[in-house]
Amino acid sequence: MPGTVQSIERAAAILRLLAGGSGHLALGDIARSLDLAKGTTHGILRTLQHVGFVEQDRVSGHYQLGPALPHLGSGYLDVNELRSRSINWADPLAARSGEAVRIGALRDGQALIVHHVFRPDDTFQTLDVGTMLPLHATAIGKVLLAYRAAGPEPAEELDRFTRRTIRTRRALAAELQHVRDNGWSLEAEEMTPGNASVAAPIRGYGGLVVGAIGINGLVERICDSHYRPHQHLVAYVRDAARAISRELGAARR
């Protein structure tokens, strides 16, 4: 059996302590109760605060359970917060790639579009924010699916949009493994004939995937004649995804 991680045990003890009793405790009380050094206790509290499990009262400085704890099941990052934190990186991605940019988050088994930057050619385009996209037939969806820990399995027969849409669970599983191996996803004429998209994961603390950012456009601009995406476009997408992840507090990787 692998050894246990002491700091996680201590963190769990702190959470139990805060969940019981008066509901809010001073740093000294917590350290005393667990017989830990104040510095150690403070470090753990700061980390728990960073992930939203603990909050500190602004006036008294006391600690209490954070607002994120009762909602552990429902994605930790508000989608409007995700847009707000991504906007300064999505714009340059559109400028560099010359393509439309979209950011999606997992919602009810589909990809909810939470941000959309127009393709910078000043043609008439309409905002896709609020649209739901199928997971297996879009680059953003594939990323969300690939890094999803659990959830209902996709249906045996997947909805077919074009003759290139992935149709079986088996083929999808292979594709998702490919996405995890590469760290990015491609969709070429699998949703709409003539269109393609590339996406990469946006990660929060601890590497948690909270969304995906991608570009989409005409297949001949995104891919070569063998449906392989242009590598500079893949690099732009991954750069933007990494920049947003850093903004959200993910460790550099």
Partner 1 sequence: MTERYVVAIDQGTTSTRCIVFDRRGRLVSLAQQEHKQYYPRPGWVEHDAAEIWRNVERLAPEALRNAGITEEQVAAVGIANQRETTLLWDRDTGAPIGHAIVWQDTRTDDLVELLKEADGAPEVEHDSALPMATYFSGPRMKWLLDNHPELRQRAERGEILFGTMETWLIWKLTGGLHVTDVTNASRTMLLDVHSLDWSPSALAFFGIPRAMLPEVRPSIGVFGTAVAAFPGVRIGAALGDQQAALFGQTCFFPGEAKCTYGTGSFLLLNTGDELVRSTHGLLSTVAYQIAGGPVAYALEGSIAITGSLVQWFRDQLELIATAPEIETLARTVADNGGCYIVPAFSGLYAPYWRSEARGVIVGLTSYITKGHLARAVLEATAWQTREVVDAMNADSGLDLTTLRVDGGMTADNLLMQFIADVLDVPVVRPLAAETVSLGAAYAAGLAVGYWPDLEGLRQNWHRAAQWLPTMDPEIRTAEYHNWRRAVERTFDWTRPS
Taking alpha carbons only, the member of 252, 248, 251, 253 closest to residue 81 is 248
Q: Which region, judged by CB under 8 A, interacts with partner 1, from 7-15, 112-120, 174-182, 235-243?
A: 112-120
d(CA 115, CA 82): 9
- State the Cα–Cα distance between residues 182 and 78, nearest whole angstrom: 27
In the set 129, 132, 173, 235, which binds partner 1 (CB under 8 A)? 129
* Residue appearing with tokens 């004939």: 193
Sign of CA dihedral 88, 93, 98, 101: negative
Q: How far is the CB of 58 from partner 1 (least distance, A)?
A: 9
Q: Which is nearer to partner 1, 89 or 147 (CB)?
A: 89
Cβ burial 38-48 (10 Å sphere, 16+ → b, else e): eeebeebbeeb
23 versus 67: smaller Cβ distance to partner 1? 67
Rounded least distance, CB 76 to partner 1, Å:
11
Query: From the CB of 81, what's the least distance to partner 1, in Å?
Result: 4
User: Binding mask 31-70 vs partner 1 (x if CB under 8 A, - otherwise)?
Assistant: ------------------------------------x---
- Report how many residues bind partner 1 under the rule CB under 8 A: 25
Tell the smallest beta-carbon distance from residue 162 to partner 1 (Å).
28
Residue of 114, 165, 164, 92 lying closest to 135 (CA atoms) = 165
Candidates 10-18, 113-121, 147-155, 158-166 — which segment interacts with partner 1 by CB under 8 A?
113-121
> Is there binding between residue 202 and partner 1 (CB under 8 A)?
no
CA distances in angstroms from 123 to 100, 118, 119, 130, listed in the order given: 11, 9, 8, 21
Tell me the C-alpha distance between 20 and 14, whole Å: 10
Is 87 a binding residue for partner 1 by CB under 8 A? The answer is yes
* Residues in contact with 37: Cβ distance below 8 Å, sequence separation at least 6, in sequence order: 31
95 interacts with partner 1 by CB under 8 A: yes
Report, in Å, the least distance between residue 105 CB and partner 1: 12
d(CA 50, CA 73): 18
Instruction: Select the residue interacting with partner 1 from 127, 155, 174, 218 (CB under 8 A).
Output: 127
Give the footprint of partner 1 on this chain (CB under 8 A).
67, 78-81, 83-85, 87-88, 91-92, 94-96, 116-118, 120-122, 125-127, 129
